[in-house]
């Protein structure tokens, strides 16, 4: 926890600096007995490992949202699954779905467990018992096609292991969400994920070329060839289905060769609008970098505060910016990876656009510093909680035209709802996914946690922000999925009839409705 950040938070938001409540020890958490009937347990055990111990159940009681972290601290484990199943084959997954359909047991597919939208909450729905279907035992690389540059994985493989297996053949997937270290490939596909390099490498829905999915009604095998006009693309119905239609048991992804060159660089722009013009131009000229991350003034201020925590280089940076008269501007990190010729072409395009908008380079060190620290954000959260800080993020996307209005509407909603004793929260935002027609907005909120009412405090802000997103034409979520948290708004995104279409598909594939109840569908 950078001391400068804590001081800023205490000064501006009135945060206390002390935990809003002390964590409950793991062995003090009250857990009801497993409600899984013994005969069902026996039938399941013929196909896969079944754990009903305290440790396994608690480890599958939720995801990684602020609310999840608070619930874990308060020892609230009412939602722990009755058992954790550990299949190692598609056949076992199919058998589990069959047995649970017959026995009316809800099944929550569980990949890396990094959902921040309640996607792995073990909700019972109308069922008497609920099990977590943990796919971590299915983590093999099944096939690599070095001509077509595709790789087929089992769903439970975590990203670092997938990258390790690929790099042994000179390949990379390059899908790098902040949850990278703990997230699984099947989870990415199920939640329609995007990563930090998706601006260049493509979202997971663009990278998955084929998949297998086990449903209570049988297996779906989808994806023949690089593109097809053979009717609707059913892959795109399974990608983002969040385990409510079936369990993805195999995923074939596009991979690429390890980059020959890699270059990250930092810049400062006069304001957020100028940065948007740079990114829009690069997208529409088809000269995008692989990574593009533009912070608004709020996020820039927090970032500079954190960097300014006593390090000489950071202080020099501040001086440099003041000299160039861009203090108070917006930070931009660009990263290029690939063939030297491609990196050179795209860097030139970026520098033309940056010059037009009076951007100032901070050099490679600023870019590399971001790259080195890019997965560390989540680890800071426990520290922040220990200091009584509410920390949470939310994100959306829209077209370029509506982006400024959406940015303002969401920021205002967050500031208004989280204002305490006249003091505003710190709200920062960045653009991290850029398309020719628009971009994402990713908000981070920091303020003093309200002791004993942490969850209602955040939920009110989340509701207000989401209402603002929907009213301003943004999408409900650009890369965090729907889960249980966003489900109440899904009909605003796709209409009541769109929801009915999803329900019709669910009825066909999961007639007993056992799969992930309470997620995705309102």
Q: Within positions 312 to 371, which residues make up the interface with a copy of itself, using CB under 8 A?
A: 338-339, 341-342, 345, 348-349
CA atoms within 13 A on the CB side of 302: 22
Which is nearer to a copy of itself, 344 or 453 (by Cβ)? 344
Among 126, 232, 421, 422, binds a copy of itself (CB under 8 A): 232
Number of residues located near a copy of itself, criterion CB under 8 A: 93
85-122 burial, b for 16+ CB within 10 Å, e for fewer? bbbbebebbbbbbebbbebbbbbbbbbbbbbbbbbbbb
> Token pair of 115, please?
């959902």
Q: Which residue's structure tokens are 């209409």? A: 495
CB 448 within 8 A of CB 390: yes
Q: Which stretch binds a copy of itself (CB under 8 A): 5-13, 277-285, 304-312, 454-462?
A: 277-285
Which is nearer to a copy of itself, 53 or 145 (by Cβ)? 145
Cα 155 to Cα 165: distance, rounded to the nearest angstrom = 14
Minimum distance, C-beta of residue 360 to a copy of itself, in the bound complex (Å): 23
Residue 498 makes contact with a copy of itself by CB under 8 A: yes
Residue 177 makes contact with a copy of itself by CB under 8 A: no
CA-CA distances (angstroms) from residue 418 to 71, 299, 460, 462, 465? 20, 17, 8, 10, 11
Q: Which stretch binds a copy of itself (CB under 8 A): 179-187, 380-388, 456-464, 501-509?
A: 501-509
Cα 204 to Cα 206: distance, rounded to the nearest angstrom = 5
Which is nearer to a copy of itself, 229 or 312 (by Cβ)? 229
Which is nearer to a copy of itself, 285 or 383 (by Cβ)? 285
Q: Which stretch binds a copy of itself (CB under 8 A): 60-68, 364-372, 447-455, 504-512?
A: 504-512
Among 60, 64, 293, 479, binds a copy of itself (CB under 8 A): 479
Among 136, 150, 265, 393, binds a copy of itself (CB under 8 A): 150
Cα 130 to Cα 110: distance, rounded to the nearest angstrom = 12
404 sits in which H/E element: helix 403-418
Which is nearer to a copy of itself, 444 or 477 (by Cβ)? 477
Among 401, 456, 460, 488, binds a copy of itself (CB under 8 A): 401
Q: Which stretch binds a copy of itself (CB under 8 A): 28-36, 55-63, 278-286, 420-428?
A: 278-286
Residue 399 makes contact with a copy of itself by CB under 8 A: yes
Residue 93 makes contact with a copy of itself by CB under 8 A: no
Task: Decide the pairing of beta strands 83-86 and 129-134.
Answer: parallel
Cα 265 to Cα 359: distance, rounded to the nearest angstrom = 12
Cα 97 to Cα 118: distance, rounded to the nearest angstrom = 21
Task: Decide the pairing of beta strands 208-215 and 360-362.
Answer: unpaired
Among 76, 386, 436, 512, binds a copy of itself (CB under 8 A): 436
| Positive or negative: CA dihedral 512, 516, 518, 522 | negative
CB 154 within 8 A of CB 189: no
CB 116 within 8 A of CB 393: yes
Fill in the per-residue mask, 178 to 217: x = in contact with a copy of itself (CB under 8 A), - = not in contact: -------------xxxx--------x-x---x-----x-x
Q: Which stretch binds a copy of itself (CB under 8 A): 14-22, 124-132, 376-384, 471-479?
A: 471-479
Among 114, 159, 196, 241, binds a copy of itself (CB under 8 A): 241
Q: Which residue's structure tokens are 């605003």? A: 492
Q: Which stretch binds a copy of itself (CB under 8 A): 324-332, 417-425, 444-452, 473-481?
A: 473-481
């Amino acid at each position: 926890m950078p001391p400068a950040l804590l001081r800023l938070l205490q000064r501006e938001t009135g945060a206390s600096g002390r935990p809003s409540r002390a964590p409950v020890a793991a062995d003090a958490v009250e857990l009801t007995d497993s409600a899984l009937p013994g005969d069902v347990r026996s039938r399941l055990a013929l196909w896969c490992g079944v754990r009903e111990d305290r440790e396994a159940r608690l480890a599958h009681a939720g995801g990684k949202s602020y609310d999840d972290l608070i619930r874990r601290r308060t020892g609230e484990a009412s939602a722990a699954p009755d058992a954790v199943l550990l299949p190692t084959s598609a056949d076992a997954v199919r058998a589990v779905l069959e047995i649970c359909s017959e026995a009316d047991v809800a099944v929550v597919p569980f990949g890396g467990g990094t959902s921040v939208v309640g996607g792995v909450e073990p909700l019972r729905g109308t069922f008497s018992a609920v099990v977590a279907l943990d796919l971590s035992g299915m983590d093999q690389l099944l096939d690599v096609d070095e001509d077509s540059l595709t790789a087929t994985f089992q769903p439970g493989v975590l990203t670092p292991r997938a990258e390790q297996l690929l790099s042994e053949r000179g390949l990379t997937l390059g899908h790098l969400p902040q949850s990278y270290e703990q997230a699984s490939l099947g989870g990415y596909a199920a939640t329609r994920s995007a990563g930090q390099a998706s601006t260049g490498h493509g979202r997971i829905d663009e990278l998955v070329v084929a998949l297998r999915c086990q449903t209570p009604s049988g297996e779906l095998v989808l994806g023949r060839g690089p593109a097809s006009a053979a009717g609707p693309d059913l892959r795109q119905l399974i990608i983002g289905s969040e385990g409510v239609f079936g369990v993805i048991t195999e995923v074939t992804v596009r991979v690429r060769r390890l980059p020959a060159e890699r270059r990250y660089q930092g810049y400062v722009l006069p304001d957020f609008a100028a940065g948007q013009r740079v990114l829009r131009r690069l997208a529409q000229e088809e000269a995008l970098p692989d990574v593009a991350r533009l912070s608004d003034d709020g996020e820039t201020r927090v970032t500079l505060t954190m960097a300014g925590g006593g390090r000489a280089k950071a202080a020099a940076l501040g001086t440099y910016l003041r000299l160039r008269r861009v203090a108070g501007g917006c930070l931009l990190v660009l990263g290029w990876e690939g063939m030297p010729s491609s990196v050179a072409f795209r860097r030139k395009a970026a520098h033309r656009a940056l010059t037009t908008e009076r951007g100032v380079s901070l050099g490679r060190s600023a870019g590399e510093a971001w790259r080195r620290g890019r997965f560390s954000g989540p680890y800071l959260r426990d520290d922040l909680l220990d200091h009584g800080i509410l920390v949470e993020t939310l994100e959306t996307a829209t077209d370029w035209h509506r982006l400024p209005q959406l940015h303002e509407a969401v920021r205002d909603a967050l500031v208004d709802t989280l204002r305490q004793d006249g003091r505003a929260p710190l709200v920062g935002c960045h653009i991290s996914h850029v398309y020719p027609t628009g971009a994402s907005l990713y908000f981070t909120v920091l303020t003093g946690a309200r002791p004993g009412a942490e969850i209602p405090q955040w939920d009110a802000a989340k509701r207000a922000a989401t209402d603002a997103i929907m009213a301003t034409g943004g999408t409900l979520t650009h890369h965090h999925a729907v889960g249980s948290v966003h489900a109440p708004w899904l009909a605003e995104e796709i209409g009541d009839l769109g929801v009915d279409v999803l329900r019709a598909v669910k009825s066909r594939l999961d007639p007993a409705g056992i799969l992930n109840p309470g997620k995705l569908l309102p």
